[in-house]
Amino acid sequence: MNTGENYNKIVHGSGISKVTAQFSTLKSWLSHPEMKKSHQLAKRSRIIQNLDFLSSIIIYGTTLEDYLLYEFYNKSHKERKTYVTGRKLHNFFDEVNNKDKTDIFIDKNKFAQLFSKYLGRKTFSLDLDGKNTEDAKKWLRNMDVIFAKPTKGAEGKGVTRLSVTDIENTIQYCLENKLGTLEEPIVQHPDMNILYPDAINTVRLITFIENNKVKLLGATLRIGNGGYIDNAGSGGIFASIDINEGKLDSVAFNKSGKKHEKHPITNQMIKGFQIPLWPQVTELCKKAALEIPDVKSVGWDVALTEKGPILIEGNDRWSRAVWQLPKQKGLYHLIQQ
């Protein structure tokens, strides 16, 4: 419900290609099934609903996801302007994050190299042209299971759990499927297994560097739900974290905005759950943020282990929905420059 395949053209493009991508996206939004039936929720005609949506795009910079998830059709101008929308967040990123330095967050192997002391696990950068397969064989020699990822993947897409029964076949599979980042499995903190044991449930903590000091803009816990990936785009759910105490202070939501008071599989109550080692989590992210101060705002994904919190990755263009939706209110005041 965001810009989809046109994302890069709209965010990074220019000229005719950017305009074409914008019109293509708008057309897909207006014809989207959820948009078509949203007028029933607003109790007005489709024409009025579409006009309201178009004006919301112009005035507030909303995407279809913003309009539906935050129920803009039921909100006043005063309420709408408090929300972080697609345009507002991208303007924020463009203002505070040096684009020449953000590739470190796009390429997982570059990230692993720079932030190696924060990872708490073994990783291997597989050359997809097969130039370091002998080194890969040595690295895999003592591995029973690995997680293989696209080097520039996002939203958990392409992440694959592989049993290493035959090393050469494992390498060949990774080469054929362009999985260039290999990692040993993480053993999750037992407290986190209570929520959901079959995925690594990660904290998304957002930092912002202002006057050489690291501020915390908010945090969310992403929880697996039926698979080994916790990302909402892969079926996971997410809930807001009180950044002072490390407790979940909301119910959980899925990517469509459906609420869950308890985990759908484990039946564990969401709100009030205490995340272990919270002071260490915030300290880890503050230290990591200062490693690359030209990228002032980053969404850090953190896993909890018995030995302490470890970094999974950093995101220079983090999700507003995962951050803002659980709070059930607009958070624009936190990034307004």
Q: Left (φ > 0), alpha (ψ -120 to 50) or beta: where does 256 sit?
A: alpha
CATH, domain range 99-107+187-334: 3.30.470.20
- pLDDT over 60 (residue 88): yes
Give the Cα separation of 34 and 163 in Å (integer).
40
pLDDT band (50, 70, 90) for residue 6? low
Overall pTM > 0.85? yes
pLDDT at 319: 95
Burial class of residue 64, CB neighbours in 10 A (0-12, 13-18, 19+): buried
Give the Cα separation of 321 and 263 in Å (integer).
19
Torsion of CA 122, 126, 131, 132, to 10 degrees: 20
Nearest CA to 183 out of 156, 146, 158 is that of: 146
Q: What is the mean pLDDT of residues 215-240?
A: 88
Q: What is the mean pLDDT of the chain?
A: 92
- pLDDT over 80 (residue 11): no
SS3 71: coil
- pLDDT over 90 (residue 13): no
Per-residue CA distances from 173 to 130, 161, 176, 178, 265 (Å): 12, 12, 5, 8, 32
The domain ranges of the chain are 4-81, 99-107+187-334, 122-183
pLDDT digits (tens, 9 = 90+) for 16-69: 776 777 788 888 999 999 998 898 989 999 999 999 999 999 999 999 999 999
∠ CA 92-97-103 to the nearest 5 degrees? 130
Angle of the 46-60 helix axis to the 33-42 helix axis, nearest 10: 100
pLDDT band (50, 70, 90) for residue 157? confident
pLDDT at 68: 96
Phi, psi of 14 (to 5 degrees): -155, 165
> Dihedral of CA 191/192/196/197: which sign?
negative
- Pair 235, 263: CB distance under 8 Å: no
The verdict on domain 122-183 having CATH code 3.40.50.300 is no
The more confident residue out of 34 and 276 is 276
Per-residue CA distances from 237 to 70, 92, 98, 314, 316 (Å): 17, 26, 31, 19, 21
- Pair 201, 187: CB distance under 8 Å: no
